[in-house]
Amino acid sequence: MKMIRTLDVTQDEFYDYLESEVREQYSKAKNMLYTGDIKEGMTYSTAVAEHQPMTITIDHYTRNKRYKAIIKSHTDTITIDYQTEEGDKGLDIIFIQEIDSFNKQKQNKLMRWFSEGVYYGRMSDTLFDIQKKIHSQRPVKD
């Protein structure tokens, strides 16, 4: 699924946020502080719950252009792809999310439309949560 949104953030803010999140997750997974660069092929394991391990691989990373990660669990594979470009009103983001189990399901049209609506809502929420977190980290102006 693909959506395009414009966020009230800069490219640097967006990629600083992504890099910070990846470094934090990588540090927790490896049990050591990681301050290095984010690179394609970087892989680490984590868990959303005690019995739900995930492996995350950075599939593509070009700062201020594109971030693509593949998240694999025992039950699913999710691909997240952010492609960005500075626009007149903020940062234009093309957000592509592919969920293998959703793409493979054979659903009737009504259920598929409902499911797509739910997924698009979650994708939109994700982007606006990122924007909110970035805004909360901005220095307060006098």
pTM: 0.84
Cβ neighbors of 36 (< 8 A, separation 6 or more) are none
pLDDT band at 4 (very low <50, low <70, confident <90, very high): very high
Rounded Cα distance between 110 and 7, Å, is 31
Rounded alpha-carbon distances, angstroms, from residue 131 to 18, 83, 89, 142: 11, 15, 14, 21
> For 4-8, 74-78, 116-120, which range has the lowest pLDDT when averaged over its residues?
116-120
User: What's the pLDDT at 107?
Assistant: 65
**Residue 69 in this model has a pLDDT that exceeds 90:** yes
In order of their start, the domains of the chain are 2-137 (3.30.530.20)
Residue 114 has pLDDT above 70, yes or no: yes
**Nearest-CA neighbor of 30 among 62, 51, 67, 56?**
56
Question: In angstroms, rounded to a whole number, what is the distance separating the alpha carbons of residues 87 and 8?
Answer: 10
Q: What's the rounded mean pLDDT across residues 93-111?
A: 77
Please tell me the predicted confidence (pLDDT) of residue 105. Answer: 58
- Residue 87 has what pLDDT? 94
Q: Say what percent of the chain tops pLDDT 90.
A: 57
Please give the single-letter amino acid code of residue 32: M
For residue 74, count other CB atoms closer than 10 A to its CB. Answer: 8
Q: Residue 142 — pLDDT band, cuts 50, 70, 90? A: low
Residues 6+ apart with CB under 8 A from 113: none
Q: d(Cα 22, Cα 128) in Å, to the nearest integer?
A: 18
